Structure 1
Amino acid sequence: MPVPSGQPVHLNDVLLDNNPGELWLRFRFIAPKIGSDVGRIGYDVATIDMEHLCQTLAVAYVEHHKLEPARVVISLSNKPIDFGHTAPDATQFFEAYLLQDSQCVWDGGI
């Protein structure tokens, strides 16, 4: 999927999660170039990519499937990880968004 940074990003899965007590729509991506090492894509750049993925993919998905999620979560991981499992050797970035008028609005309270 094309993102502003140009890094390779691939959709790993989409989860509809009611476990928080409301519907959270989770888009999980593999982004093998993220990390904190020199030459890797850092969180500051990855957040721009995550917002772009929310706006270009999540909004269309929600409208197509007629969903009303309380939150949309975009996550990037440098390698596949089963949902809910830990992987100390993996880098993962997450952002949560509210959808308002077909716009992704960062939810900094999560």
Structure 2
Amino acid sequence: ATDGSALKVAQLHSELRTLGDAAEAQAKQLHLERDTTKELRCVLTLREQQLGAIVARLDAVETERLQREAAEKGELLELRASLCVRNEQLLGMIQELFALASEEKAP
């Protein structure tokens, strides 16, 4: 019976060692996965910050573009209004010249 018990103890000891090695390997794997998860979270946080900065810059550029377009439209309207005024003035001067020319031709 002692030979069987010693064999059983040796088997159990071997199983225990195997299970301990497996547990240690799993612990190392878990530690590596936690480190990887932590690194990936840091990378994700950085990418989110970069994306936020890019979106903010894009919004700023879009706002600048809209403001520039509005200013250009305002300038264009101003130029058109000035052109209309100048055309009216020119038309008035031409009419006056015709009137003067007509008066000079009249006997």
For this structure pair, what is the TM-score category when the shorter chain's length is used for normalisation?
Answer: under 0.3
- Structure 2 length-normalised TM: 0.21
Bigger share in helix:
2
Point out the structure with the larger strand share: 1
Higher relative contact order (CA 8 A, sep 6+): 1
